[in-house]
Amino acid sequence: MERFEHVYAALGAIDSIIAAATAHHRLLWIHPFTDGNGRVARLMSHAMLRDALETGGIWSIARGLARRESEYKEHLERCDELRHGGLDGRGNLSTARLADFAEFFLRVCLDQITFMASLVQPDRLRNRVVLWTQDEIRKGTLPPHVLAVVESLLNRGEVPRGDIPILAATSERTARRITAALQTHGVVTSASPRAPLRFAFPTTLASQWMPGLFPDRP
Asked if residue 102 and residue 77 are part of one domain, the reply reads yes
Contact (Cβ atoms closer than 8 angstroms) between residue 21 and residue 101? yes
pLDDT one-digit tens code per residue, 152-172: 999 888 999 999 999 999 999
Number of domains in the chain: 2
Identity (one letter) of the amino acid at 148?
A
53 assigned to some structural domain = yes
Asked if residue 99 and residue 6 are part of one domain, the reply reads yes
187 assigned to some structural domain = yes
Mean pLDDT for all residues in the chain: 90
Domain that holds residue 93: 2-120
Asked if residue 109 and residue 183 are part of one domain, the reply reads no
pLDDT one-digit tens code per residue, 102-129: 999 999 999 999 988 887 777 788 899 9
Specify the pLDDT at position 215. 55
Query: What is the C-alpha to C-alpha distance for residues 53 and 133, in angstroms, rounded to an integer?
Result: 29
Q: Is residue 213 scored above 80 in pLDDT?
A: no
Asked if residue 147 and residue 82 are part of one domain, the reply reads no
| Domain CATH for 179 | 1.10.10.10
214 assigned to some structural domain = no
Asked if residue 138 and residue 116 are part of one domain, the reply reads no
Write the DSSP string, 63-119: HHHHHTHHHHHHHHHHHTSBP-STTS-SSSB-HHHHHHHHHHHHHHHHHHHHHHHHH
pTM above 0.75, yes or no: no
Per-residue confidence at 217, pLDDT binned at 50, 70, 90?
A: low
Asked if residue 81 and residue 142 are part of one domain, the reply reads no
Q: Is residue 211 scored above 80 in pLDDT?
A: no
Per the model's pLDDT, the better-predicted residue between 9 and 95 turns out to be: 95
Asked if residue 139 and residue 66 are part of one domain, the reply reads no
Specify the pLDDT at position 203. 84
Per-residue confidence at 212, pLDDT binned at 50, 70, 90?
A: low
What secondary structure letter does DSSP report for 87? T
Specify the pLDDT at position 71. 96
